[in-house]
Amino acid sequence: MTLTQPDFDIEPMLTPREVDATGIRVFPIAFDGCVLGWVTGPDKAREVLDRFRAIGGNFVSTADHYAGGRSEIMIGEWLRSTDRAGVIIATKVGRHPDSPGLHRAAILHSVHASLERLGTDYIDLLSFDGDLLGSDHEEAFAAVGELIQAGKVRFLSAAHFSGARLRELNAAAGSEGHPTFRAGLAEYSLMVRSAFETDLAPAAAELGMALFARLPLASGFLSGEVRSKTDLPANPLFDGALQHVGRRGFKVLDALGPIAAEHGTTSASIALAWLLGKPGVTAAIVRIYNLDALHDGLIGTSIQLTRHQVAVLDDASRR
C-alpha cells in the first residue's frame, strides 16, 4: 500500500510516555536520525522533522558516528528553527572513529563534538553505544557524572547491553555514587523478539528503566516491500531486511496483511501498533525518511489491535 499523499488528519496516541523518573516524557514514535545524511538530505530532513514536530513528535535519536557526524549536523540545523526545550535529543557515543571507546577522554571529546554539531548546550539522553566498557567501568560513569554536573548531559542510557550487564553496571555505578542508566535501546520487532522479551525487558522493569525499540520494522522488511533476495532495498541502510526473507518472515507478512486490510492501513502501521502495545516499550525509534514513513508511524500510534489480532501476530512471529 503506497501513500503518495499522506493524510495527517489522524488522532494519534498523544499521551506521552515517561522515561523512568527523569521527568522526560516522549511521544511513542521517535525519529531515527540514522537516515540523515544517508537516505535523507537537508531539505527533506527539514520537511519531515517539521511535520514530525507538528503532529506531536518530540523525540529525536541519533549517534555521533551516523553518516560521519552529518546526522547530528542536520539535526542541529533543524533545531535552530524550532523550540529546543520542546525536543528530546538522544545521541550515542563510543563508535566515532575520531574518539572510539568509552574511556574518559573519548567520552568527553565525543560529547563536546556532538554538542557542537547539534548546536545545543545539552544532550537529554546520552547512550553508551554498546558494551565497550570492559571491567574498568568507573571512569566512564565518572565522566558522565562530570558532564551531568556541568549541565551538558541530563541522563545516561545504554544501547545494546544485556539485561545481566545492566544489572551489574547499575549496581556498581550506584554504589560508587555515579549516574546510572535510566533508559535502554535495543532491537525489537516482530522478527527480533527473544532477547528483548526474555532478557532486557525483565531487567529494565526490575531497574525502573525505560526501553526504546530500535529497528521496529526490521530494517523495512515488515513494510512488505522485500519478498525475495533479489528485491534489493532502495538504500544500503535497509539491507538488513534481506536477512528476514524466508519461511518465518513470509509467515509474519502473511499475518500482517489481513490485519492491515481490516484496519485500512499498511503492514508497517500494524507492526508498529503491535510493538507499542508490548510491555516495557516506551517508544519505537523509526526510520522516518519521508512523509509516507511518518504517516505509517502516526497511524501505528492510533490503532488498538484486538486480543485476537495480537495473538495471531505473536504466533506467526514465534520461532
Q: What is the pLDDT of residues 180-196, one digit of tens each?
A: 999 999 999 999 999 99
Alpha-carbon distance of 189 to 49, in angstroms, equals 24
| Domains of the chain (ranges, CATH numbers) | 17-317 (3.20.20.100)
Residue 5: band (very low, low, confident or very high) from pLDDT cuts 50, 70, 90 = very low
| Percentage of the chain modeled with pLDDT above 90 | 82
Residues in the chain, total = 319
Per-residue cell: 304: 488498538
Identify whether the C-beta of residue 213 lies closer than 8 Å to the C-beta of residue 234: no
Position with higher pLDDT, 20 vs 127: 127
Structure confidence at residue 230 (pLDDT): 78
Q: Is 64 exposed, middle or buried (0-12, 13-18, 19+ CB in 10 A)?
A: buried
Identify whether the C-beta of residue 313 lies closer than 8 Å to the C-beta of residue 27: no
Identify whether the C-beta of residue 53 lies closer than 8 Å to the C-beta of residue 85: no
Per-residue cell: 64: 555521533
Residue 157: band (very low, low, confident or very high) from pLDDT cuts 50, 70, 90 = very high
Q: Is the pLDDT of residue 209 over 50?
A: yes
Alpha-carbon distance of 253 to 269, in angstroms, equals 12
Q: Is the pLDDT of residue 8 over 70?
A: no
DSSP states of 177-212 as a string? T---EEEEEEE-SSSS-HHIIIIIHHHHHHHT-EEE
Identify whether the C-beta of residue 133 lies closer than 8 Å to the C-beta of residue 140: yes
Q: What is the pLDDT of residues 110-139, one digit of tens each?
A: 999 999 999 999 999 999 999 998 777 999
